[in-house]
Structure 1
Amino acid sequence: MDNWVVSLAGPRHIRLEPCPPEPLGPGQVRVRTHYSGISAGTELTLYRGSNPRLRKEWNDTARMFITRDAVPAYPVVGFGYEEVGEIVEVAPDVADRRPGQLVWGIWGHRTEAVLPAHAAHPLAPGVDPLAAVFARPGAIALTAVLAGDVHLGDWVGVFGQGVIGLLGTRLAVLSGARVVAVDPVPGRLAHAARLGARRVVDAADSPAAALRTATGGRGADVCLELSGFYPALHEAIRATAHAGRVVAAGFYQGYAQGLELGEEFHHNRIQLVAAQVSGPEPVPGTAGRWPGTRIVHTFMDLVAEGSVDPLPLVSHVVDAGAVADALTLLDRGDGDILQVVLRF
């Protein structure tokens, strides 16, 4: 097949479907994919069948999930949100994009896509195209840091040192924080130390006690929970100072086993803030100054200027046709796996 798209036919059931080329309309460009990163969070919830969108419908007007009414959950076609490619065709009315231009954006795991020109973001000169698969994960991490209202000199615990957690560690360090990075995987903690974490703590070694020791018993000013595991969220709450803030930016699944809100959360009056990069105001309280477009472009500016180097987080680059194997690899959850990228 010259043109194809990844389809999830059911839990852990990947297919490559033919995808005839779409006609190019006004204001649009055609992009040929070079790389597409696989999310180890959101995409795995679709792959495993635990994502709430598989059983409920998101109503954007009501901003509520509504139970599906006989709407099949599968197939899920063209999922993915970390793409880099080359413009191969532009509509006659598009003046600010050109064939041959490298761009990044969101168009899913597919060989090519037709997009509005404004959704194909030009890659800055000198930036490795592989680095641009981190645009969306970087925006998620930056949203969490902004939601934490991190200040110079703050002690910040970052729970979970996967791709987004490691980017969150680097961005918190750039914000002037003294970061304590938490994860059960030694290799990920080594990455965190290289990215500027002041201390690293094995998740099994009472991170809350370590953060309180580091701060003279006070606790962290802010904790960012980026793993999506309820016990980690509970430990982040335990680690946080009285009236401090915990940002829950992981994609939590199922019921909250391991989260005890009657303990430190209640007695220390912890502020628990949800961070989510999409929506009408990704960072509440900023009077709309940080829309999603500004967040993602700020992250890519940091990459272009060299303040953030995400390339060491690429652990596997595989041929796109082996996407089923790539997802199996991520699903297995080995500790040496960080960013898996499909190469087209």
Structure 2
Amino acid sequence: MERVVQFTGPRQVEVARHESAELPPGHLRVRTRFSGISAGTELTAYRGTNPYLTRTWDAESRLFRDGAAGISYPVVGWGYSEVGEVTEVSPELPGTPGMPAVGDLVWGIWGHRSEGIVPAERMLGHTLPAGLAPLAGAFARVGAIAYNAILSAQIHLGEDVAVFGQGVIGLIATRLAQLSGARVTAVDAMDVRLAAARKYGAHSALDARSGTVADTIRAATDGRGADLAIEISGAYPALHEAVRSVAVGGRVVASGFYQGDGNGLRLGDEFHHNRVEIVCSQIGGVPAPLSGRWSVERLQQTFLRLVAEGHIDVAGLVSHVIPVADAADAYVLLDERPADALQVVLEF
């Protein structure tokens, strides 16, 4: 029997059991070891705020349409940060270059379920690098999200960069910005995350609750402001403060998943008067000027290589490893006590 985590309604979680399916041609069967919970995108479905619950995404026109929901409860098997062991390979696949074999540890996306049946083309090159702990594979996607924001930021050596939001992705972005040669100011409203930001490379850490973040950043840069900011919390007031914090002509990378109307974001203020550039970073693609050299696959693979080479500590981001049977408790923790958790991982 396969175990699958599903949301049966807002803030309602259960672990359902289903019969294991036959392996179709062109697929791999993977027994899940770990599956990381996204404290951003996933919680929007858990809380009932995800736009797909009330509207439909029209892929052809690339517009949301009112009138029908794109997804409905139960929302089954969400999750995009899985790692597991290949247990079965479709008979025609062995010998394909880059194809994982039975027994290999692989990373990918198949949701919070005890086994994944995954199209083979999605698993090419997804064998875990040698020497890397299995749990690290659960960071391929979240690491790529942070990495994509770094590429969108176009950081130059010696620049001042502010990173708003120091959850898991924000902490990774802070470390990657430092590796890119930036002097990083981390901003968050939780003391525990500000302390973590210093460990991950922040030159300074500012409390978002102070109301003086933009002033402090400008004072630390001779009145100029940060060269650029990365906003990764998904909060409109944070995006507004990021805009206030950058220099004239500065860039703000909006990498959070913003929900509802833009309360707290005032585009007639500093955005307008300082001619600030706001750039969206979203893991559906890489920055257009880099698309000839970079891809989402390369982001994920390069991030795991950086982890394997010791440049980024992902183990230090894991606050809880929770048995899948207790998945409901994991979501309550992230939803109600975010200061007590960073990366929460389900163990199968």
TM-score, normalized by length of structure 2?
0.95
State the SS of the aligned residue for 2:339.
coil
Q: Residues of 2 paired with 1:29 and 1:286: CA distance?
A: 31
The counterpart of 1:215, out of the listed 195, 213, 221, is: 221
The counterpart of 1:192, out of the listed 190, 197, 209, is: 197
TM-score, normalized by length of structure 1?
0.96
User: Contact (CA 8 Å) 2:165, 2:188: kept in 1 or not?
Assistant: yes
State the SS of the aligned residue for 2:289.
coil
User: Contact (CA 8 Å) 1:35, 1:343: kept in 2 or not?
Assistant: yes
Partner letter of residue 45 of structure 1?
T
Is the counterpart of residue 169 in structure 1 residue 169 in structure 2?
A: no
TM alignment of 1:69-88, pairs within 5 A:
69=68, 73-88=72-87
Partner letter of residue 274 of structure 1?
C
State the SS of the aligned residue for 2:222.
coil
CA change 1:63–1:72 in 2 (3 A) is: closer
Is the counterpart of residue 336 in structure 1 residue 340 in structure 2?
A: yes
The counterpart of 1:113, out of the listed 107, 111, 116, is: 116
State the SS of the aligned residue for 2:332.
helix
Q: Residues of 1 paired with 2:170 and 2:87: CA distance?
A: 35
For 1:10, the equivalent position in structure 2 comes to 9
For 2:320, the equivalent position in structure 1 comes to 316
For 1:276, the equivalent position in structure 2 comes to 282
For 1:203, the equivalent position in structure 2 comes to 208
For 2:20, the equivalent position in structure 1 comes to 21
Q: Residues of 2 paired with 1:123 and 1:76: CA distance?
A: 29
User: Contact (CA 8 Å) 2:183, 2:202: kept in 1 or not?
Assistant: yes
Query: 1:257, CA displacement in angstroms?
Result: 0.9
User: Contact (CA 8 Å) 1:38, 1:340: kept in 2 or not?
Assistant: yes
Q: Which moved more, 1:166-175 or 1:330-339?
A: 330-339
Q: Residues of 2 paired with 1:296 and 1:16: CA distance?
A: 29
For 2:128, the equivalent position in structure 1 comes to 123
Query: 1:70, CA displacement in angstroms?
Result: 6.9
Q: Which runs of 5+ in 1 are unaligned?
A: none
CA change 1:331–1:29 in 2 (3 A) is: same
Q: Residues of 2 paired with 1:30 and 1:328: CA distance?
A: 30
Q: Residues of 2 paired with 1:266 and 1:161: CA distance?
A: 27
Is the counterpart of residue 63 in structure 1 residue 62 in structure 2?
A: yes
TM alignment of 1:20-59, pairs within 5 A:
20-59=19-58
Say what the alpha-carbon RMSD is for the aligned residues. 1.3
Q: Residues of 2 paired with 1:268 and 1:330: CA distance?
A: 37
Q: Give % identity.
A: 53
Partner letter of residue 131 of structure 2?
G
For 1:249, the equivalent position in structure 2 comes to 255
Partner letter of residue 226 of structure 2?
A
Aligned length in residues:
341
Q: Deviations over 1:309-335 (max 9, x none)?
A: 111110011101110111011110331
Query: 1:289, CA displacement in angstroms?
Result: 2.1
